[in-house]
Amino acid sequence: MAYNEKLAELVRTELAGVAGVTEKKLFGGICLLVRGNMIGGVVNDDLMVRVGPERYAEALRLPGARPMAFTGKPMKSMGYVGPPGWKDKKALKQWVAMGVEFAASLSEK
């Protein structure tokens, strides 16, 4: 299944001006990176966000969020956000910022 191009474009717009952003095709969607570290991406109609283990529980309490568990075991630093959680521009901006913040805390690859 193809990924949501509209969502991908919204995320790209939010990332405009962030230095070191790259994009890769991955998981049947796209993966976005800052300085070589994944911030998240778009898979089907979901926003995938890497928030880190410290903000994981907080992130899952936000509207539209759910654990990322494609292997059957939740990844304790990443989550999916369905359309109800990203359709609002302010919410999308918050999700993208969380991903960028975590990626920026890591060493450049």
User: What are the structure tokens assigned to 5, written together?
Assistant: 């191009």
Query: In this structure, is residue 32 part of a structural domain?
Result: no
21-42: average pLDDT: 93
State how many domains the chain has.
1
Helix (H, G, I), strand (E, B) or coil at 44: coil
Query: In this structure, is residue 29 part of a structural domain?
Result: no
pLDDT tens digit string along 53-92? 999 999 999 999 999 987 888 889 999 999 999 999 999 9
Share of the chain above pLDDT 70, in %: 98
pLDDT band at 109 (very low <50, low <70, confident <90, very high): confident
Share of the chain above pLDDT 90, in %: 86
Q: Which residue has the higher pLDDT, 45 or 74?
A: 45
Q: Is the pLDDT of residue 1 over 70?
A: no
HSE on the CB side for 76, CA within 13 Å?
2
Torsion region of 64: left, alpha or beta (phi above 0 gives left; psi -120 to 50 gives alpha): left
Helix (H, G, I), strand (E, B) or coil at 5: helix
Query: In this structure, is residue 22 part of a structural domain?
Result: no
Residue 96 sits in which domain range?
A: 1-17+44-109
pLDDT band at 4 (very low <50, low <70, confident <90, very high): very high
The pLDDT of residue 14: 97
Query: In this structure, is residue 104 part of a structural domain?
Result: yes
Count of Cβ atoms closer than 10 Å to residue 34 Cβ: 21
